[in-house]
Structure 1
Amino acid sequence: MRLSLADALAVTAALTILLDFACATGSASTLAISHGSATVCGVLSGASLQSIQCVRAGSTSLVPFSVFPNASFLSISGGRDSVCGLRADGASFFCWNTANSSSSTFAPRRVYEGSVVFEELAVGDLHIAAVDRNRTFIEWWRAYGGFPSNISGSYRSLTSGRGFTCAVNSNGSVRCWGPSVGEIEDAFANYSMSTIVAGESHACGIDTAGRLICGGSNNSGQLSPPSSSAFEFGSVALGSNHTCAVRKFNGVVVCWGGDAGGEYTPANTTAFVFVVADGNITCGLTTENYTVLCWGSNRSELALTTLPLPRVLPGACTSNESSCDCGPFPDSGTLCSGSGVICRRCDDRIQPSSPPSLSPPQLPPTPPRASSKRTSKGRLVFGIIGSVGAFAGVCSIIYCTWFGVCRHKKVHNSVQPTIAAAGNGASHAHSSATGAGSSLFTSPSGSQSRGFWRQGSRVMTRQRSGPSSFKDRAEEFSFAELAVATKDFSSETKIGAGSFGTVYRGKLPDGREVAIKRSETGPRTKKFQEKESAFQSELAFLSRLHHKHLVALVGYCEEGEERLLVYDYMKNGALYDHLHPKNGDESTFLNSWKIRIKVLLDAARGIEYLHNYAVPPIIHRDIKSSNILLDANWVARVSDFGLSLMGPESGAGHLSMRAAGTVGYMDPEYYGMHHLTVKSDVYGLGVVMLEVLTGKRAIFKDAEDGNPTSVVDYALPCIVAGEVRKVLDERVGQPALQEAEAVELVAYTAVHCVNLEGKNRPNMTDIVANLESAVALCEGSFESHGNISSPCISPSGD
């Protein structure tokens, strides 16, 4: 039975979301699928302009509508909720969000326009990749941790999947980038490849010997192709858990994997030029009249639907026939309306003259394992290294025992933090699940963020985050000295309050200006201090940590019940006071988006140091705008470690702790489930990002009904819908061209940071990288690659 695509694929898309499947892949083509909204787009043939039309399968009527009726496009590529199109001149590309548009229109946005001309475009789940026309480098947009900004080399057959991009090098080797790509890249290590196509978590391609090679996830049998001969398959398409290929000798499509595993022929004897897939949807361009035929991967309800799109180009139109290494496509002049030709696929010219025999099966050979000789050498090297390590360990133990270096020494009572758990129960670490599940706001790094560390990355991050070292022993002051410095703690020297006391401005006898935090007295405060050990905790942490983006501890005072901490004075106060000035006074400092993003970057670098370089990691627990201070040079520093705790040694588990912090900034998992992780700080920073972008307090009164509203609830709907400008702080004004890209990058990063599930939030290294990119955009660092403006990739994962 032939059902409408609205009935068949809309159900498929809905099931895809319910089953939490992520987006599949994008490779350059003239046909693209955005499976999250069951939208199919094509580059049309037979007209002077190669324009784009789309069909939204979820609508009640399958009526196509134009996205770009007045422009020519070279190719398009799709993700879960977006499609991107590369202009015919290659000097710009646009993207449009298919999930948040009305049923009759899309709102394209220019992501790139500049002097560099690109040839291929590939959209992944959270990133876009492109190869320049001269094939000298690959560049990424919206690329989170694990991706370089660009990579030099001669590459072709660019393709992107869920969190990774692959391409074929000029020597036939496959290179992949992104987190956890080793398994996929290794599968092609022993082959010289002609093409490669990515799926959600697997990839397949044709090698120079004409064999179909696949690697990656095989949870549904998607890596188990039917028996085939060399050069049997041409076009290959990969979805979330299935694979399809066109048999070259007759154009018939065969698929395998999916809900039932094994192979099947979805369109019987229909011949296709090529096929594309995304999620659980596959579409093919028929050879008969270049119409588009689509089907879902649920074989129990397999339905074929011919889309009402005009004829779609079987390939990209190029103005130079001499650039076609393998000659032009038949009748390509007519298809391109006399404005160019379509190059024939080079593997078509070497196809067998007669249908190949399907028996005996000729499966790709298994990649050879290393020889026993190589293994023996590896074991020998491992043994030598192990012996040296053991000897060094024994020497270290002897040295520590002899000289007492390993003995614990007490420095001002608290070099090593003492975590008091009175009233809280044991603060032991629990292992937490870090599966790759996704949600509406899938984390850029996801649960695999710790899995792709390379040895050099920590060094690079330390350089990026600024100098750090262990601080000299803090000074000990008498209470009388600090009383004189603050005019006996007079109200005129009071400048704020911290997690366990009031902060005063003071001046030491040697002329140094300092901030002095004094714990309050009284039974209520004393009980709080006993539970949280705020003074001892902050003294311990700041005594052993030193970083340019952490507030510097000068000294302390312990006399009787008095507990005071002395810091470097931050002349320009707290970020909160500049965002929300009293008495209507406007800050003249935070009047540009560049400066605001730079402050966020400074704070992120400080938190990154706590999470990545303190052993074990330090969880701040109270990240908020009032704890981000600005020194005399407007450099931001994280302050107030009164609630800080040492996290699990691995950074991968959680602490079971009673919730503490500030309402509006507190991690929902920590507040509701008492699960504290380093991702709790990420949530707080995400709220600060939204606070900086909108100018709204973390909790503010709604202007319409006066009810309390969180900045998260206020900002997220607009950001997710791609309408960031609607929530930006009017006091700063709308961002300029280059600033627009930077501001939206910060906004989308913030959305990921405030994900309800900690495992789906990015880590601090990824956040720092994004904020660095945003600052660079504001400073015009990408001018050599042209002006980058409004992005299309939404935080929902396209």
Structure 2
Amino acid sequence: MKSSISSTVAFSVTVAVIFFSFLSTPSSALGSGSTYAVVYGSDTVCAVISGQPTQRILCHNTRLRTNLTLNPGVSFSSIAAGENFLCGIRSGGYSLLCWFNLIGSSYTLKPKRIYHNDTVLLQSLSVGNTQICAVVNGTNAVKCWRNDPSKAPNEGLVTVSSGVGFSCGVSVRNNRVLCWGKDPVKSGQIQTGFGNQTMVSVSAGESHACGLNSTGGLICTGRNESGQLNAPSGQPYLFSDLSLGSNFTCAIRTTNGSVTCWGGGAERFNNVTENISFESVTSGSGLICGLISGNLSVMCWSPNNFSRIFLPFQDILPGPCVEPSICKCGVYPRSDQLCSGSGSICSKCRILPPPQPSPPPSPPSTPSKGLTRGLLAFAIVGSVGAFAGVCSVVYCLWTGGFLGKKKVHNSVQPTITRGGSSTRSSSSPPSRSLTFRRQGSRMFSMRRQRSGTSSMKHTDKAEAFSFSELASATGNFSLENKVGSGSFGVVYRGKLNDGREVAIKRGDVNAKMKKFQEKETAFDSEIAFLSRLHHKHLVRLVGYCEERDEKLLVYDYMKNGALHDHLHDRNNVEKHSSLVNSWKMRIKIALDAARGIEYLHIYAVPPIIHRDIKSSNILLDSNWVARVSDFGLSLMGPELGKDHQQRPMKAAGTVGYIDPEYYSLNVLTDKSDVYGLGVVLLELLTGKRAIFRNGGDVEEECAPVHLVEYAVSAIEMGELGRVLDPRVGLPELGEGDAVELVGNTAMHCVNAEGRNRPTMTDIVGNLERALELCGDSHGSISSGICSIVSDIERD
């Protein structure tokens, strides 16, 4: 037995946010993960911060009262803590990073990459005193590091929790608790203590474990020298989330969200916490922390003394930001704001007691004759009234009476027509192209078809504005408010009545009939796609207006304009002090744009091909976060596992950026967007336009040059420095490696054959590496095909 709590080696708490659901559903913990954790032995609490484009990790040392941001600019979905170290799964689940020796003020930490795989993704994390384990998305297989991986069970687990020398999880196959680890005696005893109980969750402490079974009961087993197994008596379904410390246990009450603790003196604070509602609770060796429901702040208290601390964090994520389609019990309020438009937070599912059988009805009594007549008359009058009420409701809904001034766009449903009869009029293109069909008053929805399952994908509602509102917001579309043009019209800056600053795209009302259908399709396309796409690197659609011949789209206003203007506009070209005139910023912008396109190709269902990736369609918000815009030419791509080649009626795009294979062969794939991004990368490196004039002082006398021809030859000969943008200056040592990696990436992106171009996931990986290199003075770069193969670091 250890002499004091402070000398206790740490263990981990369950980092999976337990989604209580039917036990027959093995994916009930899909996407789950803790968003804050206590780092044992360092008086440090870390959390994933919400409401910002990057969901970064912020740490606070409660003793020194100092803050630390780990890997700023990188988003994480879940974190877990061990003894003086912290681990986090990156958003998307493809990489696991850990920071070791997180002690005192030693805040110059660099992470170790423990795992990296673009295809085998991680979904939840568990950390013990030394062991690190994670569950694989889809298969629920368990991977462990810093311990003997062979000890982990060879079957899927719903949730995993690690203690000192052991880990436990709930089996997908039979919902029994399985335990393993380098201390086989401890793990064997704890597993035996759960017996054959059918469990929903399990949480580990230093030498004990607790869990909730399928009937709502709390079961604890292991050592009990400090009363950590002595749970308060009560009815089933009394507790939801659990968190175990060195010699104490805490749980959240299902009735009011309060925290109650027992063992090791932790119960002395229960009279304070019983008046506060918490989203979740987590523990260290001598510290308990809870996420307060009211303001999503963290309150910590110690079982050893009557003191509490409120951490200086704002709006901590109550759960990871995931695709809303996987949320079985609805979406958490303010999800869009908390996730900054990139995914949603799932509301927790609660397992409830089974419904009690209704008492048998009393034998009917014989009513009197007068009462029978009265009831008959009442029934007739009530039926007539109910029928009239239903008719009124139907009429009001039909005429839009209930919708008021702000209505919901529900008239566009994108469909894929392949071969067979056309769904459009005789003026429509042949059915082999991707077309959009208007379905009057049907809500836009897409069927999810990944992994052999299908579900309806919810779309957010876009506001409908009146033309007069938008005219007023833009000063009657004054020239001074004009900020650019899009795929079907002119873009104006505007300010709505409620103070929101927006960008308003107005279609050309004087367009000839020949062009009208194209503008109509672009208008419908933007609403159809952007109403269901939510990502921090895609421009958000606020609403629309459709009155007579007027068609307008309303977006979030991007304060810092288009990347094209910062690189090429005459008013900006000579501004050497521009914020984009640094290699790190340019690489960050490229990474932001690549992540947005990767979302379209990989995570949108069905996938989407943008078809017009160029620097003028990459916009910068007030925080200089890049977002992809203008979906007027976008088309739906194939589902996963299907043919990736599409054949639109004709090629579309912008000269200089359009994929030559697509243009010449009329074959569209997602690699066409890769080509466009490759040209943008070359723009960022050279500062030159996609098509420019070169060779003399008088621009009109110079022959036009394609940027791809100009830059790729220099990259191939190892002379990238010869074509770099002089406004940025020569890169430093670490930056030089980063710029070289971006150059090699761009060269592969603009390969003449689409099959030889990298995927967007490869590109994102390379740009992430390049951004990391900007802060380092060393690093090696492979000049091979554009993908990074990361070695798994084992300690």
What TM bracket, shorter-length normalisation?
0.3 to 0.5
Q: Which has the higher contact order (CA 8 A, sep 6+)?
A: 1
TM-score under structure 2 normalisation?
0.42
